[in-house]
């Protein structure tokens, strides 16, 4: 495995491939120092001021630029955003000083119950207004610009009147947030709901897209499940190449959260993304 | 026009009850969200109670998780605290059954979970006692490490816990006598350790804020026992501060 050569104070997230930071890899990451461009950690795993998890991320942070990726805010929840949760995100930002902070275009709680899942929003004007307002308020509170990610969907709302890309574009325009394009999610949603994946990518504003996610999915009968539990499939790599041709080279994360493989496998997957990013740079030169 | 709040409320109802109406297509795919949500909850519970899961097996743990969730649904986007009420739930749920010991095992595992995010304070050495006059000694109160939990059970839960650090361990003889012990955090290490009952009583009294002599009396320690117990709390780095009562 190639080793990281450039060390020192981590700066902004470079336009190359990164990997998800997982506890099972922390020792290998520290000792082998693989040459990956950056790491991304789930914000909610680092809410506590004490304990070994935070110390491990601090050590990794010393060697790699860091992105913090939240999964629990449910910014599109009509019941509002949990201020206590938001304060903990702010605490994590202050402690780990990430170069990017991201969340999802979803909701997660209603009537006091949290479902701890990335639940889909109806693509309506009301949902645009609410999500944009709550993203804007979160950004003001956190003192950081957020990247908002498209989620995998298994259903559509009868009341939706916008395309998903129109919805995200409007939220970004109103709130000033950036967009995190999850290419696997685009593919999963398009296959499940009969949507046009390339049309989705064509519709997003290039000046707003600042990061890309890649992951594997599982098939359950006719439905694709976004489980982050396997290699990126060929169709998603193709769609990624299409996205990179449109948006240029962007920081690209390999997500692998279940059935987590050896670090070397994850690094090899990131090499594949780096090759495609290199091709895009060659074309642009 | 149906409002966003109404749509999310209907969606939430359909996640709880498959027969509830929800304006989505295909409605059958709501089962995927229902399943995702249950898995998130159960995975978080399992990460806090791995030994309980090993002892009861995946199928029964799934049932327990669903029943617990029905009583104690998630109230946060942060799943870390999801298991806070699980020991009490098991105590009630398994009361009088042959599995009642699982509630105590869960209590031990939750102590470990709490210790994993507790501060580790600098410990004070035994020579701190030399700063006090002999007349002050009987008024001394110790502040112990914030991560310290003291756990006692009528069942051999420390033996069960230790034996089940691997999958498919053979069952522990439940007729063994009850055990007591401590859970505490060191830097990058969690310690789960059975204690001799008198030492446990002594530590419990100290943790409750009892002055030194009261702790000695309540634990029934003789002179040698006291020296040994005092040596233990200092060499193990359990004491963060020593002060006189009332100061």
B2: chain A residues, CB-CB within 8 Å? 159
How high does pLDDT run on average in chain A? 94
A108: chain B residues, CB-CB within 8 Å? 77
Of B9, B29, B76, the CB nearest to A154: B29
B89/B55 Cα distance (integer angstroms): 17
Neighbouring residues of B59: CB distance < 8 A, sequence distance ≥ 6: none
Of A113, A116, A156, the CB nearest to B40: A116
Closest-CA residue of chain A to B38: A115
Biggest CA–CA distance in chain B, Å, is: 80
B70 at the A interface (CB within 8 A)?
Answer: no
For B148-186, b/e burial (b = at least 16 CB within 10 A) is: bbbbbbebbbbebbebbeeeeeeebeeeeeebbbbbbbe
Per-residue pLDDT at A5 = 43
Which pLDDT band, with edges at 50, 70 and 90, does A222 fall under? very high
Closest-CA residue of chain A to B3: A126
Neighbours of A275 (CB within 10 A): 11
Q: Is B137 helix (H, G, I), strand (E, B) or coil?
A: helix
Kindly tell me if the per-residue pLDDT of A210 is higher than 80. Answer: yes
Q: CA distances (Å), B209 to each of B108, B141, B186, in order?
A: 22, 6, 22
Per-residue pLDDT at A6 = 40
Task: Say whether the ipTM exceeds 0.90.
Answer: yes
Least confident of B41-45, B146-150, B241-245: B241-245
pLDDT in tens, A90-144: 999 999 999 999 999 999 999 999 999 999 999 999 999 999 999 999 999 999 9
Q: Which whole number is the average pLDDT over A39-50? A: 96
B121: chain A residues, CB-CB within 8 Å? none
A158: chain B residues, CB-CB within 8 Å? 23-25
Fold of A17-284: TIM Barrel (3.20.20)
**Which of B1, B2, B4, B46 is the best mutation test for A, with the most CBs of A within 10 A?**
B4
Per-residue pLDDT at A8 = 42
Per-residue pLDDT at B155 = 95
Closest-CA residue of chain A to B73: A113
Of A82, A111, A119, the CB nearest to B33: A119
Kind and range of the H or E run holding A68: strand A66-69
B119 at the A interface (CB within 8 A)?
Answer: yes
Question: A278 vs chain B: nearest CA distance in angstroms?
Answer: 36
Per-residue pLDDT at B213 = 86
pLDDT in tens, B75-103: 999 999 999 999 999 999 999 998 999 99
Q: Which whole number is the average pLDDT over B132-160? A: 94
Per-residue pLDDT at A93 = 97
Number of helices (H), then strands (E), in chain B:
10, 6
Q: DSSP for B92-116? A: HHTTTSTTTHHHHHHHHHHHHHHHT
Of A52, A55, A115, the CB nearest to B15: A115
Which pLDDT band, with edges at 50, 70 and 90, does A10 fall under? low
Question: Which pairing describes strands A17-20 and A252-255: parallel, antiparallel, or unpaired?
Answer: parallel
Residue that the structure tokens 């989705």 belong to? A200
How high does pLDDT run on average in chain B? 94
B157/B100 Cα distance (integer angstroms): 11
pLDDT in tens, A246-268: 999 999 999 999 999 999 999 99
Percentage, residues of chain A above pLDDT 90: 93
B80 and A77 in contact by Cβ < 8 A?
Answer: no
Of A50, A53, A158, the CB nearest to B120: A50
Q: C-alpha angle A63/A65/A67, rounded to 5°?
A: 135
Of B25, B78, B185, the CB nearest to A47: B78
Question: B130 vs chain A: nearest CA distance in angstroms?
Answer: 32
Least confident of A166-180, B55-69, B149-163, B216-230: B216-230
User: Could you tell me what percentage of chain A is helix, strand and coil, using 3-state DSSP and rounding each to the nearest 5?
Assistant: 45, 20, 35
Whether the CB-CB separation of A103 and A149 falls below 8 Å is answered with: yes
pLDDT in tens, B169-224: 988 887 789 999 999 999 889 999 999 999 999 999 999 999 988 888 888 988 88
Kindly tell me if the per-residue pLDDT of A284 is higher than 80. Answer: no
Neighbours of B25 (CB within 10 A): 13
Structure tokens at B236: 């193990």
According to DSSP, the residues that pair with A66 across neighbouring strands are A39
Percentage, residues of chain B above pLDDT 70: 99
The distance from CA A241 to its chain's CA centroid, rounded to whole angstroms, is 18
Please name the residues between 33 and 62 in chain B that touch chain A, using a CB distance below 8 Å: 33, 36-37, 40-41, 44
Structure tokens at A33: 């120092």
Of B1, B29, B44, the CB nearest to A223: B29
B47/B34 Cα distance (integer angstroms): 20
Q: Is A207 helix (H, G, I), strand (E, B) or coil?
A: coil
Least confident of A234-238, B129-133, B145-149: B129-133
Q: Where are the domains of chain A?
A: 17-284
A72: chain B residues, CB-CB within 8 Å? 76-79
B224/A131 Cα distance (integer angstroms): 67
Neighbours of B28 (CB within 10 A): 12
Q: At what angle do helices A125-142 and A164-175 cross, to 10 degrees?
A: 40
Kindly tell me if the per-residue pLDDT of A9 is higher than 50. Answer: no
B7 at the A interface (CB within 8 A)?
Answer: yes
Provide the number of CB pairs (under 8 Å) joining chain A to chain B: 121
Which pLDDT band, with edges at 50, 70 and 90, does A285 fall under? low
Per-residue pLDDT at B247 = 57
B75 and A112 in contact by Cβ < 8 A?
Answer: yes
Percentage, residues of chain B above pLDDT 90: 84
């Amino acid at each position: 495995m190639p080793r990281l050569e450039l060390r020192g104070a981590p700066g902004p997230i470079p336009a190359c491939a990164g990997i998800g930071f997982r506890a099972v890899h922390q020792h290998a990451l520290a000792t082998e120092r693989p040459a990956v461009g950056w790491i991304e950690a789930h914000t909610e795993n680092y809410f506590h001021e004490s304990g070994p998890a935070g110390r491990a991320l601090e050590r990794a942070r010393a060697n790699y630029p860091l992105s913090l990726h939240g999964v629990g805010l449910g910014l599109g929840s009509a019941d509002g955003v949990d201020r206590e949760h938001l304060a903990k995100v702010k605490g994590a930002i202050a402690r780990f000083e990430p170069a990017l902070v991201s969340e999802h275009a979803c909701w997660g709680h209603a009537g006091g119950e949290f479902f701890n899942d990335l639940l889909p929003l109806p693509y309506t004007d009301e949902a645009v207004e609410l999500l944009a307002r709550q993203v804007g308020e979160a950004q003001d509170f956190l003192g950081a610009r957020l990247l908002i990610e498209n989620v995998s969907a298994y259903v559509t709302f009868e009341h939706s009147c916008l395309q998903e890309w129109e919805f995200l574009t409007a939220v970004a325009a109103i709130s000033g947030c950036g967009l995190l394009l999850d290419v696997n999610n685009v593919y999963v949603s398009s296959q499940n709901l009969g949507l046009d994946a390339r049309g989705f990518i064509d519709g997003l504003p290039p000046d707003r897209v600042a990061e890309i996610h890649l992951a594997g999915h599982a098939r359950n009968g006719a439905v694709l499940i976004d489980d982050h539990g396997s290699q990126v499939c060929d169709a998603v790599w193709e769609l990624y190449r299409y996205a990179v041709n449109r948006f240029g080279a962007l920081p690209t994360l390999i997500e692998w959260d279940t059935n987590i493989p050896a670090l070397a496998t994850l690094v090899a997957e990131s090499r594949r993304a780096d090759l495609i990013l290199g091709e895009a740079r060659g074309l642009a030169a | 026009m149906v409002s966003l709040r109404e749509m999310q409320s209907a969606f939430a109802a359909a996640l709880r009850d498959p027969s509830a109406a929800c304006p989505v297509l295909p409605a059958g795919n709501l089962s995927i969200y229902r399943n995702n949500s249950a898995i998130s909850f159960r995975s978080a519970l399992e990460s806090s109670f791995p030994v309980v899961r090993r002892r009861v097996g995946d199928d029964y743990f799934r049932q327990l998780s669903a029943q617990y969730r029905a009583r104690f649904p998630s109230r946060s986007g942060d799943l870390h605290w999801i298991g806070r009420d699980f020991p009490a739930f098991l105590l009630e749920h398994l009361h009088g059954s042959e599995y009642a010991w699982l509630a105590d095992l869960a209590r031990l595992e939750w102590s470990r979970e709490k210790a994993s995010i507790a501060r580790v304070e600098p410990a004070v050495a035994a020579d701190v006692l030399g700063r006090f006059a002999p007349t002050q000694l009987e008024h001394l109160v110790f502040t112990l490490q914030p991560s310290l939990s003291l756990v006692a059970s009528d069942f051999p839960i420390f033996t069960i816990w230790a034996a089940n650090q691997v999958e498919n361990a053979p069952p522990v003889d439940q007729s063994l006598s009850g055990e007591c012990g401590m859970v505490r955090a060191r830097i990058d290490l969690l310690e789960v350790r059975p204690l001799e009952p008198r030492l446990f009583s002594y530590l419990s009294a100290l943790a409750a804020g009892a002055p030194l002599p009261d702790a000695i009396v309540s634990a029934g320690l003789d002179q040698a026992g006291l020296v040994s117990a005092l040596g233990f709390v200092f060499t193990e780095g359990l004491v963060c501060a020593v002060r006189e009562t009332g100061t």
